[in-house]
């Protein structure tokens, strides 16, 4: 079965809560998934996964430095992530506080690696966002996001 990997950075727990909701939903769908804080992840983890979901708090409208550092290190395996499935999510303090630009920045780096990214015509087009801790709306969006990710992964991993 295809392997999904969720990586996140979280200082105060909000992005981590989103990561756990997404991981639980993937598990509920029967998906093989591992969940790791970014500090515990390495390049082998990225290479071993078929699908990678990355979560970051919104920091000045972009990903946290810890997430960017992993991307910068990933130049060592540039070309080896081509064709994997990618997706991103974020927690921010404010609506329109830069959460979409944060997700797009993560997706941008993923595209340069050759990841396949699926948008969503409904709800959270780029990926789920929470304002602070995930509320009922964010919870629902995280679950929908996980369901769609699992479906895409199973379709691509023939
Ligand atoms: C350095 C720093 C920069 C931040 N920049 C933004 C920002 O640009 N927009 C925003 O809405 N929230 C911003 N925040 C708030 C965090 O995105 C928000 O508190 C988030 O929920 C934290 O996630 P975490 O609990 O996973 O650490 C910032 C917080 C910090 C510490």
pLDDT tens digits, residue range 15-57?
Answer: 999 999 999 999 999 999 999 999 999 999 999 999 999 999 9
Protein residue whose Cα sits closest to atom 4 of ligand 1: 59
Given a contact cutoff of 8 angstroms between Cβ atoms, the answer to whether 67 and 106 are in contact is yes
pLDDT(158) > 90: no
> What count of Cα atoms within 13 Å lies in the side-chain half-sphere of residue 84?
25
What pLDDT digit, counting tens, does each position of 85-95 carry? 999 999 999 99
Protein residue whose Cα sits closest to atom 17 of ligand 1: 92
Which of 92, 105, 134 is the pocket-test mutation for ligand 1 (most atoms within 8 Å of CB)? 92
Q: What is the pTM of this model?
A: 0.98
Protein residue whose Cα sits closest to atom 23 of ligand 1: 57
Pocket of ligand 1 (CB under 6 A): 10-16, 57-61, 91-94, 97-98, 132
């Amino acid at each position: 079965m295809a392997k999904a990997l969720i990586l996140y950075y979280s200082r105060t727990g909000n992005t981590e809560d989103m990561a756990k909701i997404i991981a639980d939903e993937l598990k509920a769908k029967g998906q093989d998934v591992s969940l790791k804080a970014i500090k515990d992840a390495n390049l082998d983890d990225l290479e071993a996964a078929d699908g990678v979901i990355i979560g970051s708090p919104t920091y000045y409208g972009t990903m946290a430095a810890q997430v960017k550092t992993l991307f910068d290190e990933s130049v060592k395996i540039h070309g080896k992530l081509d064709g994997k499935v990618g997706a991103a999510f974020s927690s921010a303090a404010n609506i329109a506080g830069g959460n979409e630009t944060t997700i797009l920045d993560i997706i941008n780096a993923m595209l340069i690696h050759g990841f396949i990214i699926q948008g969503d015509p409904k709800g959270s087009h780029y990926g789920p966002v929470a304002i602070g801790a995930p509320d009922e709306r964010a919870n629902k969006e995280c679950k929908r996001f996980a369901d769609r990710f699992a479906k895409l992964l199973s379709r691509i991993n023939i």
